[in-house]
A and B are shown apart, each in its own frame.
Chain A
Amino acid sequence: MSILETPRLYFRGQISWDPVTTNNFPPKAQMAGYNEATTDSTLNASPITADQVAAYRKAAIDEVNAGWNPDGTYRSKFFETQVNGVDVGAGLDTRDPVVTAPVGFQGMLIDAEPYGAYTSQLFFDEMSFGIPGGCRIVGKRARRFDDRNINFQANPSNAFIAGSASVTWQTVFPKRGHLIVEDQDSPLLQAFNAALSSDDVLGLMVRWNAYRTVYYNDPDLPGGGSAEQGAALQKKLQEGGFQPNPARSLVVGALGLWRRGDCATEPGERTLVSLPVTIDTGPAKGARVGTAFMKLNADADPPNLTLDFQNTIPCADQQTEKADLGTLSVIAADPPPAVAMVEFAQIPYERYNRAAYEATGGLIKIDLPDLLPGAEDMVFSIKAQGDGPTYLDEVRYRALPDEPNVYANESEARQLRVQVYDRGRPAGAGLTVTWSPLQDAGSTDTTHWSATTDATGAVYLHVDTSKAQIYAYVFQVGDSPVLPVVNGAPTGSSLGFNPMVNPYAYIRVLPQDADIAAMEPSWENVYGHVLANFNAIAPCMDNWLRLDDEQQVRAYAPLVKRLTDPAAFEEFRYMPPTRDLTPGARTLLYNWLDGAGDGATAKSRAGLQPASATSGAQEVLDAGAASRAHRSGPA
């Protein structure tokens, strides 16, 4: 199951992050802000107009110390990233021919909820391991990467902006969806190809962790930032041109099999959730152990316990040495109400220190030649030895949405499937799933809904699209949910939301903007009500088209229409990268691009489309699940 069984591949390197930050601030928070409900760029809290674009840009530059990247490209790219090991079942192997092959990835970093920290996505087309002519893998995504399990206490000594955080990214490459595995003389790739011939294997899964994020290319920036760095960036921005200011993170990851029943979008194996234990001494003081995942591979020879510690052990310094928590004990207990507990395995520091972490993509395999009978049914936890704290406790049931971030249009009928996992496998019928909106801190609103799982262990919920908004549902399994779930410290009986603990989905409902659709399709209207908005957020929404140039936009009408087509929503080059083009804005744009002279007539031609782009991606994913075909060897 997943990357927690063999065969698998490990990689490590770095990634750059170049998001535009001007849409990160609500109206009134900054002069150059963004209204994420209405999708309007705002200048001093009012929607931007065509003649205010320059003023917006100036304000964004003046406020650069808060925003750090008003001139980004959204692009995120792996660099210095290579395959650094494989495991076909006999442990780490660094001699496979695919080892040292470059790993290629480029995506657009977009937050579904621009203000928040829990909805980052990487829209991309392909990911590659190796180069043409060598042993290599090329996978086309079915769906973007979604980030999950962000741990804001992963590296307290790297505190600038989000430098202290680490986060997990996952997606899958269906074998029907243009998955190329050219194995040549690579035992690993040969093993992948052999496994892919099984009906039970749907494709390949990749999961990686980003950590130790550095801004301004300066790992020594203090937590409060640097006026000097900000001033230098401002100076560049004032010169004009194209002035990105990307951050960068370290990356470790693993590529393995995606089996039927595996969650495609986030880790769905047996889950050891992070407990609220803060390390109170030593160089990692203030850090918290992050959620881990595990699998007992009882059928392997020898049987083994494989742990996903990609996002688990915090760093003790900026050089990313891991916090030394001593030898950790894996404790197994009989299911309640029994209380018998045994030390199932030990994890010495050498197995989770920096060198081990980098060598095996954060995964730890512990051979268990004498696996206890019935171990699969036991409940696991991980603790320090002796009287030390328990860091991680297994949670049996997890309700994970098929789509971690949902885009919908106002008034559109929209459904979200949520799969319950029972110790890492799809659950059966009869479990109660409760979902409730993520409430503001201090709220006492206990609004919630419940449903019972069907035979596949799934429930389906109708997404509220009654108005334009962005909101989150938090999922709980069982008959005693804790409500409300609040974003912040809990008070009274509420539950404090933590992305490492509580499964969730964000829903972004775009306004229809019917009034914009009905406008006369003139350049003034198109720029003033559609393109100026994106021109303000980032002067170069993509780096080829000047959005304020009527002739240029018109000259590239076919390309603009192709890139803004809802069917292209998952693509790397979809426009706008922010995925917030409303149906009404699209209609007005198309009416103008089509050369319509009359707004009302043209409106009926373009139509207000229920453009739920993610549903298209789901269809691809489903098609991949039903497929058995895959490509191998030279075309």
Chain B
Amino acid sequence: MVQLMWKRPEGVEDVHALVQTAINLEFSTLPPYLYALMSIPPGENLEARQRIYAIAMEEMIHMCLACNIMNAIGGSPDIAAPRYPGPLPGDVAQGLIIHLYPFSPAAAEQGMHIEQPEDPINASVMKAAMDRAGTEPVTIGEFYERLKVVLSQLPASAWSADRNQIDDSQFFQGNLFKVNTYADAAQAIDNIVSEGEGTPQTPGENGSPLDFQNEMAHYYRFKEIFLNKVLTRTGQPGGGYQWGPQTLGIDWTKVYPAITDPEQHDFSNEPAAAREAQAECDAAYAAMIAGLRGAFNGDPGQLGVAVRAMFDLRMAARKAFTTPLNDGRVAGPAFVVPGPYWKASNETRTSGEVA
């Protein structure tokens, strides 16, 4: 179970830090999901591909919404590249180490762990806990619920209308909206949670695997993939779901023979084409992150630049996934940023030397 560090905020900067944790968390889900997605060759495992693609798109939206919240309360979103393998950002328990798995049962199961639905949250217990000073680990679901409470307690003067907001004018129509008030922020958080976990359990309600738009929530989509069974309404009075009988037609062998966690792979003796592909992936990923940073810090045109880089990353990844290493396997994008980031951490990525 992922556990995030909760610190009772003593001021607006502490609230910014909490929102930044949410941004980091949402962003960090993208590389593992995209790695699994892009490791599926064209035309294969279509049902699984569609599900993972939809999840990845929604995670991008979640990250954008979290950035909008940050801007609305006067902060400056940062887009930091997480490392793989590694814990989810803020996971103090480090009970779940995230890997870049190619499409596989392990990748699906990892997605389930990330998106694990929350047990019903007892509001009064949570409220009492929040009044305690200091820090404590909480689950992702509770983290978001607490964040909502904290945001609701901010004075109206803390909210700036239309500050560096990105809406759905260009991308994600109907899903990405400006956050100008607490109500907008609460809606954003509800969307994030429901799309990940389904609509929540409340007293008298058992919850649902469907989100607020009646689409299947992420956890259940990953579990469908893991089980290779469609989650199906029973159609019986009172509702209910069952796994199958329809399958997703998954063939786990229809995947590029990709290594796990390419960041840990030593590319120095691999073919030049493979190193070049890695370098192209790194460059596109870095450009994407730079674009996102600009977009969420007052230059909305940079969002289109980031999207263009995302397409470049997709093409570079396709190249990487089809360029053999010496042992016949392939390596997808490592999702690392070459340059200052790496120098700052006194680490050298062997593939980065090619660029």
Contacts and interface: CB of A to CB of B under 8 A. Distances in A.
Interface of A: 14, 16, 71, 77, 79-80, 82, 97, 100-102, 131-135, 184-185, 216-217, 235-246, 248, 540, 543-546, 552, 555, 559, 634-635
B169 A543 contact: no
A634 B246 contact: yes
A217 B167 contact: yes
B160 interface: no
Contacts of A185: 233, 235-236
Interface stretch (B125-133, B304-312, B333-341): B304-312
Interface stretch (B103-111, B149-157, B171-179): B171-179
B314 to A, nearest CB: 7
A102 B311 CA distance: 28
Given A133-B246, A241-B307, A544-B311, A246 B173 contact: yes
B214 interface: yes
A245 B291 CA distance: 18
Contact of B230 (A71, A100, A132, A246): A132
Q: Give chain B's interface residue range (CB within 8 Å of chain A).
A: 35 or more
Contact of B173 (A77, A132, A543): A77
B173 A240 contact: no
B233 A239 contact: no
SS class, residues of chain A in contact with chain B:
loop
B231 interface: yes
Q: Give the 7 A-B residue pairs with the shortest CB-CB distance, closest first.
A: A79-B174, A241-B305, A185-B235, A236-B301, A239-B301, A241-B304, A241-B308
Given A133-B246, A185-B233, A244-B171, 4 more contacts: A133-B232, A241-B306, A242-B307, A546-B315
Nearest to B314: A544
13 contacts: A131-B215, A132-B246, A133-B233, A133-B246, A185-B235, A239-B301, A241-B303, A242-B311, A244-B171, A244-B304, A246-B169, A544-B314, A634-B245
Contacts of A101: 214
Contacts of B311: 242, 540, 543-544
Interface in B230-245: 230-233, 235-236, 241, 245
Nearest to A234: B301
Nearest to B168: A217
A100 B314 contact: no
Contacts of B82: none
Contacts of A132: 47, 216, 230, 246
Interface string B294-332: 000001111111111101001100010000000000000
Contacts of A217: 167-169
B213 interface: yes
Contacts of B171: 244
Of B173, B215, B303, most A-chain CB atoms within 10 Å: B173
Given A133-B233, A544-B315, A634-B245, A243 B215 contact: no
B232 A243 contact: no
B170 interface: yes
B225 to A, nearest CB: 12
Nearest to A555: B319
Nearest to A79: B174
B309 to A, nearest CB: 8
Nearest to B294: A239
Contacts of B169: 216-217, 245-246
A546 B315 CA distance: 10
A243 B170 contact: yes
B302 A102 contact: no
Contacts of A14: 173-174
A94 to B, nearest CB: 14
Nearest to B312: A546
A240 B299 CA distance: 13
A236 B214 contact: no
Contacts of B170: 243-246
Given A217-B169, A246-B170, A135 B233 contact: yes
Contact of A243 (B167, B216, B301, B309): B301
Nearest to A542: B311
Contacts of A248: 173
